[in-house]
Amino acid sequence: MNILIIGTGYVGTTTALVFAEMGWKVTGLDTELRKIENLRQGLLYFYEPGLDEMLIKHTGSGRLQFTTDKAKAIRDNDVIFICVGTPSRPDGSADLRYVQQVAEDIGEHMNGYKLIVNKSTVPVGTQERVTDWVREAQVHPHPYDVASNPEFLREGKALEDALHPERIVIGADSDHASGLLQQLYASINCPVIVTSPRTAELIKYASNAFLAAKISFVNELARLCDPLEVNIKEVALGMGLDSRIGPKFLQAGIGYGGSCFPKDVAALLLTAQELNVRLQVLQHVVDVNQTQYLYLLDKVRNRLGTLAHKKIALFGLAFKPDTDDIREAPAVRIIQTLLQEEAEVRICDPVAQLPAELKVSSVAFSTSPEEVLDGADAVLLCTEWPMFRDLDWTRLKDRMSRPNLFDGRNFLDAGRMTELGFYYEGIGYK
């Protein structure tokens, strides 16, 4: 089986590399020539640990090639993965125009049986729509199947997650399609769930929504921990040892961001709304998340009296460590609020870059922690990059005008920071 991956974004490139690593012959297709030329030279346009080495390995091994020739790529491959983006519309619904375009391209150029697999996160019922789009675009009535095979990888851990997943979900309505997909993944040792396409599509949304709910639950609880003078980290530890709860995704902080949780939760809420089902728990998950970053700013405001004309340093811009992704990053919202309140902002992140709309005179960016702390009234830790733990905090403290440390990720050791002379506050943790 030859595999075609349409869309060489984050998910597409990782999927292509992982199939090449498993020994399959893979082609990556994209409409953007510049992206394809870079990939051919072994250059990624996003940061993800380990992927660049693997790209160089497999462009060299001959198992992986990149093209912009969609007609030829569709003709030459038996299994086609759709990995294009599904951006949010202003109302929160998923915009499927790229998926539709790909489905129509496949219909137009197919020359025999094709297994079409959707990996993009799409609303429940999309497999049926893709099936229709392909049929309507077909020039000759060749047979095909459309399956759903959602991706569960995390940014920063993409290779680990894709090579060693905890489960593979296959949503197919024919034994032939599910058999082919099981063959493709035969070298991976993990439970495989074979189900209907609708169920597979919902499993993806439900998983992300549940993880988001765990985070909002613990974040709300952290707000209660503050007046109770209880440490949320110990509460989470005690809860997490119950295997029914589990220790992961119980880290309180300034809320979840990224390209998946906010978008997928909004899309699931919209699906429910369209069907007149009220997902009240999930709505509250969003409400908590949208105010969690303000909770940190309240602490800063209380301590400094006002944010106006204060020099505030931010450690971390990315929505989480090991990525340069700033989509829906709580740090970005924090900066916007600080600017509205006329603070002076300095930001340090080892990889992420400042977006164009934040390149204003009252915002300075540096990769040097020392530089951003010079004369600062407070530092807000927004992303738990390991480098921030290893800093010489004693020396850094002396550069600040006031040693106020607000840890939005409960990442540093409160006791040690206090001993060093910082005023330290985390989220439900002091």
Return phi, psi of residue 345, to 5°. Answer: -115, 135
| Minimal distance, residue 323 CB to ligand UDX, in Å | 7
| Minimal distance, residue 136 CB to ligand UDX, in Å | 30
C-beta of 107 vs 321, nearer to ligand UDX: 321
Scanning 231-348, the segments in alpha helix (DSSP H) are: 232-240, 261-274, 280-304, 330-340
Determine the Cα–Cα distance for residues 418 and 403; give it in Å rounded to an integer.
10
| Minimal distance, residue 162 CB to ligand UDX, in Å | 10
Cα R_g (the chain), whole angstroms? 24
* Residue labelled with tokens 């069907």: 275
End-to-end CA distance of the chain: 56
C-beta of 138 vs 337, nearer to ligand UDX: 337
- Residue 163's alpha-carbon distances to 75, 76, 186, 381, in angstroms, are 28, 26, 12, 32
| Minimal distance, residue 219 CB to ligand UDX, in Å | 7
Tokens (6 digits) for 132: 């229709």
Buried/exposed code over 363-402 (b: 16+ C-beta within 10 A; e: otherwise): bbbeeebeebbbebbbbbbbbbbeebeeeebeebbebbeb
Catalytic member of 83, 190, 225, 260: 260
Percent of residues in the chain assigned helix, strand, coil, to nearest 5: 45, 15, 40
Residues of the shown chain interacting with ligand UDX in the complex, contacts defined by CB under 6 A: 151-155, 208, 211, 215, 249-251, 253, 256-258, 260-261, 319-320
| Minimal distance, residue 351 CB to ligand UDX, in Å | 14
DSSP 154: P
Tokens (6 digits) for 28: 């990556």
Residue 190 annotated among the catalytic residues of the structure: no
- Among all residues, which ones are annotated catalytic? 260
